[in-house]
Structure 1
Amino acid sequence: MRQTDFSNVNVGGGRRAVFLDRDGVINKAFVLQGKPYPPKNLTEVSVLPGVAEALSQLKAAGFLLIVVTNQPDVARGNQSRSMVEAIHEQLGRQLPLDDFCICFHDTADGCDCRKPGWGLLRQAAQDHNIYLLQSFMVGDRWRDIAAGQAAGCRTIFIDYGYDEEQPKSWDWRTTSLLEAAHFIINHQ
Structure 2
Amino acid sequence: MNHTYQAIFLDRDGTIGGSDTIEYPGDFELFPYTQEVIHTFKSNDMSVFSFTNQPGISRGDACEADFISELNAFGFDDVYLCPHDHTEGCDCRKPAIGMLKKAAIEHNLDLTKCVVFGDRWTDILAAKTAGCKAILVQTGSGKISWDQNHFTSVIQPDYVAATLKEGMTWLLEHTCITR
CA distance in 2, matches of 1:74, 1:88: 12
Check whether the contact 2:18–2:31 (CA below 8 A) recurs between aligned residues: yes
AA of the residue aligned to 2:34: V
Would you say 1:102 and 2:86 are equivalent positions?
Answer: no
Gaps in structure 2 of 5+ consecutive residues? none
CA distance in 1, matches of 2:12, 2:24: 13
Would you say 1:156 and 2:138 are equivalent positions?
Answer: no
Q: What residue is the counterpart of 1:20 in the other structure?
A: 10
AA of the residue aligned to 1:27: G
AA of the residue aligned to 1:155: A
CA distance in 2, matches of 1:40, 1:90: 10
Q: What residue is the counterpart of 1:45 in the other structure?
A: 28
Structure 1 moving runs of 4+ over 6 Å? none
Structure-2 change in CA distance of 1:129 and 1:28 (3 Å): same
Check whether the contact 2:8–2:114 (CA below 8 A) recurs between aligned residues: yes
Check whether the contact 2:50–2:71 (CA below 8 A) recurs between aligned residues: no
Check whether the contact 1:75–1:104 (CA below 8 A) recurs between aligned residues: yes
Q: CA deviation at 1:174?
A: 0.6
Check whether the contact 2:71–2:79 (CA below 8 A) recurs between aligned residues: no
Within-5 A mapping of 1:167-186:
168=153, 169-186=156-173
Aligned length: 163
Instruction: Give the alignment's Cα RMSD to 1 decimal.
Output: 1.8
SS of alignment partner, residue 162 of structure 1:
helix
CA distance in 2, matches of 1:107, 1:88: 20
Residue of structure 2 aligned with 1:128, choices 97, 107, 110: 107
AA of the residue aligned to 1:20: L
Q: CA deviation at 1:58?
A: 0.6
AA of the residue aligned to 1:40: Y
Q: CA deviation at 1:162?
A: 2.9
TM-score, scaled to structure 1: 0.80
AA of the residue aligned to 1:73: G
TM-score, scaled to structure 2: 0.84
Residue of structure 2 aligned with 1:166, choices 146, 149, 160: 149
Q: What residue is the counterpart of 1:10 in the other structure?
A: none
Q: Percent identity?
A: 32
Q: CA deviation at 1:104?
A: 0.9
**What are the superposed Cα offsets for residues 128-157 of structure 1, whole Å, 9 maximum, x if unpaired?**
111211110100000001000011000000
Structure-2 change in CA distance of 1:149 and 1:104 (3 Å): same
CA distance in 2, matches of 1:102, 1:166: 24
Residue of structure 1 aligned with 2:46, choices 63, 80, 97: 63
Within-5 A mapping of 1:64-83:
64-77=47-60, 79-80=61-62, 82=63
Would you say 1:86 and 2:70 are equivalent positions?
Answer: no
